[in-house]
């Protein structure tokens, strides 16, 4: 690489990575729920942010998917937009809780009112009082990012506010609350880190969002959306990705979900060189399957694939039944007890209704 090209590459990379830190830090709060290291080396360590910064952050656009796992989710979103009930969004980090909350707001009768996102780890009771609003006409919607990180004083204030949310005419007089979490909140309740009364008040309507690996049919649509977004922002042409890159995007597991895919698109547009941007991802995906640096046997690989397929079938059934475990067990043609055992095996025993 020539000196001029190397300089241009360094400047572009610095721009992209600084923007990537901003994107991750404003959407992923610090605290007990730690975000894993970005698999492709994109982004940096989280830095503290205050709620005002989170409110002013750029909102990722909700993109309607074509996958079977997203169609029922979108139907539920449209239903939730017709009421003011509190909503709990459960999903892995980066799976789109913020964009989903914004989508519910935009489809609701509050769409002309403010939408605010608050990072729970940085909140004080006065912040909730300031942004919840006494005036129904300007209250809007508040999205609480990572509810499990809300401190005890804020939990008490929020519980009190939600229990007094209707006026004399029965109409809501405060902001609508939508909460998001990547934590198992039932475990947080058992550990006495989250108030039980607050948990049951905000979890009456619970919507689980599928991770990107369970909605692979949406990857091409999302990729094009993110490429167009950053092409416009950087005033560059939309890159035409090679078949190899598209295939790698389709096969990759995307542990960072939508945020990781968006970061990849951002780098592709900013660098303007697919080979430079995709070098790290190609190297990662073209490695042989292994465990702890050792090659995985065919038997072990088949077993791992079987477990992953079973997990995906269970989660899809639960999504279709809006996390009604008994209905999901009937659909999967297994006993309710067997489903509970399998949910415990995959770490989802605390979710859903019986």
In this predicted model, what pLDDT tens digit does every residue of 48-77 receive, in sequence order?
A: 333 333 333 343 577 777 788 888 889 999
pLDDT at 263 (0 to 100): 85
pLDDT at 11 over 50: no
Is residue 85 helix, strand or coil? coil
Is residue 94 helix, strand or coil? coil
pLDDT digits (tens, 9 = 90+) for 147-174: 999 999 999 998 988 887 554 444 555 7
pLDDT at 78 (0 to 100): 92
Rounded mean pLDDT of the chain? 74
Q: Of all residues in the chain, what percent carry a pLDDT higher than 90? A: 31
pLDDT at 193 (0 to 100): 92
pLDDT at 64 (0 to 100): 79
pLDDT at 151 (0 to 100): 93
- What are the structural domains of the chain? 51-212 (3.40.50.300), 214-286 (1.10.8.60), 304-354 (1.10.10)
pLDDT at 171 (0 to 100): 52
Inter-CA distances, 38 with 46, 139, 327, Å: 11, 36, 36
Task: Identify the top-confidence range among 21-25, 67-71, 177-181, 249-253.
Answer: 177-181
Q: With cut-offs at 50, 70 and 90, classify the pLDDT of residue 307.
A: confident
pLDDT at 348 over 80: no
- 3-state per-residue secondary structure call for 277-301: HHHHHHHHHCCCCEECCEECCHHHH
Q: Which long-range contacts (CB under 8 A, 24 or more apart) does 300-309 make?
A: none
pLDDT digits (tens, 9 = 90+) for 98-144: 999 999 999 999 999 999 999 998 888 888 888 765 555 567 899 99
Q: With cut-offs at 50, 70 and 90, classify the pLDDT of residue 302.
A: low
Contacts of 277 (CB under 8 A, 6+ apart): 264, 267, 268, 271
**Mean pLDDT, range 229-235, rounded to an integer:** 92
């Amino acid at each position: 690489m020539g000196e001029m090209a190397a300089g241009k590459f360094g400047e572009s990379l610095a721009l992209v990575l600084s923007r990537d830190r901003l994107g991750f830090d404003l959407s992923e709060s610090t605290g007990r729920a730690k975000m894993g290291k970005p698999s492709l080396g994109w982004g940096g360590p989280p830095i503290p942010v205050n709620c005002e910064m989170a409110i002013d952050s750029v909102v990722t656009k909700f993109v309607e998917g074509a996958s079977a796992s997203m169609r029922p989710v979108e139907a539920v979103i449209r239903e939730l937009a017709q009421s003011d009930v509190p909503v709990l969004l459960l999903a892995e980090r980066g799976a789109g809780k913020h964009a989903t909350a914004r989508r519910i707001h935009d489809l609701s009768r509050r769409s002309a009112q403010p939408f605010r996102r608050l990072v729970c780890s940085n909140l004080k009771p006065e912040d909730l009082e300031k942004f919840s609003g006494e005036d129904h006409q300007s209250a809007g919607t508040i999205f609480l990012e990572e509810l499990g990180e809300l401190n005890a004083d804020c939990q008490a204030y929020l519980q009190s506010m939600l229990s007094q949310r209707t006026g004399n005419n029965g109409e809501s007089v405060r902001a609508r609350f939508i909460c998001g979490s990547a934590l198992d909140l039932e475990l947080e309740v058992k550990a006495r880190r989250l108030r039980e009364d607050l948990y049951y008040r905000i979890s009456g309507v619970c919507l689980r969002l599928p991770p990107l690996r369970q909605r692979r049919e949406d990857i091409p649509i999302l990729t094009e959306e993110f490429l167009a977004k950053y092409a416009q922002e950087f005033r560059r042409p939309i890159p035409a990705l090679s078949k190899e890159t598209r295939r790698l995007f389709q096969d990759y597991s995307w542990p960072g979900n939508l945020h990781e895919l968006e970061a990849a698109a951002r780098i592709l547009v900013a660098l303007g060189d697919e080979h430079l941007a995709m070098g790290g991802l190609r190297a990662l995906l073209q490695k042989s399957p292994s465990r702890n640096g050792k090659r995985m046997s065919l038997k072990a690989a088949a077993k791992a694939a079987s477990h992953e397929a079973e997990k995906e079938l269970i989660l899809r059934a639960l999504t279709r039944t809006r996390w009604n475990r008994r209905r999901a067990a009937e659909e999967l043609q297994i006993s309710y007890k067997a489903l509970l055992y399998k949910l415990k095996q995959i770490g989802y025993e605390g979710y859903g209704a019986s």
